[in-house]
Amino acid sequence: MSTFLLEIVTPERQVYSEQVESLNVRGVEGELGILAGHIPMVTPLQIAPVSIKTGGRTEILAVNGGFVEIRKDKVVVLAESAERPTEIDVERAKAARERAEVRLQSKQDEYDHRRAELALQKAMNRLNVAGK
């Protein structure tokens, strides 16, 4: 099967850089499967796991927003944050989920409510990836 270079980059570091067979991401328009030779494009990403397949194995990473840029010879994910399952502090993610749930139940302005929703989505994404 054909491969392409996948790079996953955050403001702090390069999280991933390997030849892969396929990549599945969740864009704002829905799920997107990427294989070698995909048409070039750029699209924003939702807070969701990304699935990377190569050499008969699948790796899942927690990606919290950003963009995917598909080029002729490689794909670059520019993420706000990205973590492998082994890098996720499950207790910290559970605490973040609980804080976000409490904030969502309290009366607050729309801006704080949206921030709490995003915090909850990020915590749930990390917990889902850590549990797989």
Q: How confident is the model at residue 31 (pLDDT cuts 50, 70, 90)?
A: very high
Q: Assess whether pLDDT exceeds 80 at residue 84.
A: yes
- Pick the most confident of 55-59, 99-103, 127-131: 55-59
What average pLDDT does this structure show over 109-119? 80
**Neighbour count for residue 93 (Cβ, 10 Å):** 21
pTM over 0.75: yes
Where in the chain are the domains?
Answer: 4-85, 89-130
Q: Assess whether pLDDT exceeds 90 at residue 117.
A: no
Name the average pLDDT for the chain: 91
Q: Are 93 and 130 in contact (CB under 8 A)?
A: yes
Q: Are 6 and 22 in contact (CB under 8 A)?
A: no
Kindly report the CATH class assigned to 4-85.
mainly beta
Q: Are 45 and 112 in contact (CB under 8 A)?
A: no
- So what's the pLDDT on residue 126? 87
CATH architecture for residues 89-130: Up-down Bundle (1.20)
Four-point Cα dihedral 9, 14, 16, 20, nearest 10? 60
Q: Are 125 and 47 in contact (CB under 8 A)?
A: yes
- So what's the pLDDT on residue 7? 98
- So what's the pLDDT on residue 111? 65
What average pLDDT does this structure show over 100-126? 83
Tokens encoding 84: 């492998």
Of 81, 40, 87, 37, give the one whose Cα is nearest residue 63.
81
